């Protein structure tokens, strides 16, 4: 029996498509990985992976159609990241809305299998998330989302996400998500775990007299950077440590800094962690962030100190004063990443969940 051929694309978030494609290829599957979005920068094909950047939105949409026609017949399973598809972009334009996700309909008509990953704000309702957090007793999370991300709370901004969720559920064979970004999903979904190449992350459990604290926000308001800086400035009055704010820094350089640091402050508002939290644990750091063990699909063993703007100062103070706690968290963090985030395990888990053979 011939193995199915995978298409993986078309939006990249945290190397999700790259790591999944690599894992599938190592297991013997044929994979096409295509990432395409509007930008002035054009990146040529690199091996099996094609990264296309188009200079304007009109060219972008024509290119999406062309690429869809190019890949539709040779592939059997289509994996769309960030709730994207070749025609999903049409959904946001009034006069072309009827074309939104039409490719998913065509794929199903042709007997293809469709998989959708939701791994960001693509399907999240911030308004409903606040209600969920209050019901779970996570009032600090809810308060700061209402206060700092109020521009994302309007019911009107949820209208398109509700349509997207309903359409995706109509055509997708499987959906991967986390509960905090699945408010409009009504059908069962699988938990999504970002995969990394653990072998490329040097785990160095540093124990310095002046520990290095790192914070690397992709978006200052969403990550709570102002609260981090306020706590750091207050701590400097009584403690000896170094602090590095990694802004607009290439990921490779950030990863290098993670091997030099002992403490990493991840995001402080949303009840989860991103790729930074995973890489920080893998590199041997104590991680402080808003992820909550046992909530949002995370196991109780998640070795992150749950931290919000209300607790950032006290939590940083605790880890600065306790080198043994830092060492314990660092050791547990590396083991946790190896168990849940190694791209090979993530890929095998993905195949099992969609009912495909794991060689």
Residue 1 lies inside a defined structural domain of this protein? no
> Which CA distances in Å does 309 have to 3, 228, 293, 316?
49, 8, 18, 11
Do residues 274 and 291 both lie within one domain? yes
CA 328 to chain centre: 26
Do residues 184 and 205 both lie within one domain? no
* Res. 91 pLDDT band, cuts 50 70 90: confident
Mean pLDDT of 184-199: 96
Do residues 189 and 58 both lie within one domain? yes
Q: What is the pLDDT of residue 43?
A: 43
Q: What is the pLDDT of residue 357?
A: 86
Of 178 and 67, the structure prediction assigns the larger pLDDT to 178
Do residues 162 and 237 both lie within one domain? no
Do residues 86 and 213 both lie within one domain? no
Do residues 127 and 266 both lie within one domain? no
Do residues 37 and 181 both lie within one domain? yes
Check pLDDT > 50 for residue 189. yes
Cis peptide before 46 (omega within 30 of 0): no
Do residues 145 and 165 both lie within one domain? yes
- What one-character-per-residue DSSP string does 134-153 give? HHTT-HHHHHHHHHHSGGG-
Do residues 265 and 319 both lie within one domain? yes
* Res. 58 pLDDT band, cuts 50 70 90: low
Do residues 207 and 331 both lie within one domain? yes
Q: What is the pLDDT of residue 47?
A: 52
Q: Whose structure tokens read 């599938």? A: 24
Give the angle subtended at the CA of 250 by the CAs of 244 and 255, to the nearest 5°. 60
What are the b/e assignments for 80-97, b being 16+ CB within 10 Å?
A: bbbbbbbbbbbbeeeeee
Mean pLDDT of 300-328: 98
Range of the domain at 313: 198-340
323: domain CATH number? 3.40.50.2000
Residue 322 lies inside a defined structural domain of this protein? yes
- Cβ neighbors of 164 (< 8 A, separation 6 or more) are 83, 88, 91, 101, 122, 123, 184
| Domains identified in the chain, total number | 2
What pLDDT digit, counting tens, does each position of 135-151 carry? 999 999 999 999 999 99
Do residues 95 and 209 both lie within one domain? no
* Res. 63 pLDDT band, cuts 50 70 90: confident
CA 63 to chain centre: 26
Q: What is the pLDDT of residue 42?
A: 41
Do residues 261 and 321 both lie within one domain? yes
């Amino acid at each position: 029996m011939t193995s199915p051929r995978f298409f993986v694309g078309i939006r990249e978030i945290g190397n999700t498509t790259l790591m999944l494609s690599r894992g599938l290829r190592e297991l013997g599957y044929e994979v096409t990985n295509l990432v395409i979005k509007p930008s002035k920068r054009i990146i040529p094909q690199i091996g099996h992976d094609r990264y296309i950047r188009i200079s304007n939105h009109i060219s972008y949409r024509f290119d999406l159609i062309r690429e869809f026609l190019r890949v539709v017949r040779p592939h059997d399973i289509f994996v769309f990241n960030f709730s994207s598809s070749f025609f999903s972009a049409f959904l946001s334009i009034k006069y072309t809305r009827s074309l939104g996700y039409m490719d998913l309909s065509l794929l199903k008509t042709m007997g293809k299998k469709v998989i959708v990953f939701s791994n960001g704000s693509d399907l999240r309702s911030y308004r409903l998330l606040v209600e969920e957090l209050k019901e779970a007793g996570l009032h600090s999370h809810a308060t700061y989302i209402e206060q700092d991300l109020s521009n994302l709370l309007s019911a009107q901004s949820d209208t398109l996400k509700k349509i997207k969720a309903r359409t995706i559920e109509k055509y997708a064979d499987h959906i991967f998500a986390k509960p905090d970004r699945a408010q409009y999903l009504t059908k069962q979904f699988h938990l999504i775990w970002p995969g990394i190449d653990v072998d490329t992350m040097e785990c160095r459990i540093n124990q310095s007299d002046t520990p290095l604290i790192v914070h690397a926000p992709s978006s200052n308001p969403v990550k709570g950077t102002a609260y981090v800086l306020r706590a750091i400035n207050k701590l400097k009055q009584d403690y000896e440590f170094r602090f590095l704010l990694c802004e607009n820094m290439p990921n490779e350089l950030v990863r290098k800094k993670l091997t030099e640091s002992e403490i990493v402050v991840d995001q402080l508002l949303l009840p989860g962690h991103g790729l930074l939290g995973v890489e920080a644990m893998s590199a041997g750091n104590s991680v402080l962030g808003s992820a909550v063990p046992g909530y949002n699909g995370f196991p109780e063993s998640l070795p992150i100190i749950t931290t919000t703007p209300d607790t950032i100062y006290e939590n940083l103070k605790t880890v600065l004063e306790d080198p043994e706690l830092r060492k314990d968290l660092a050791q547990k963090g590396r083991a946790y990443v190896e168990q849940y985030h190694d791209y090979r395990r993530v890929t095998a888990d993905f195949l099992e969940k969609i009912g495909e053979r794991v060689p």
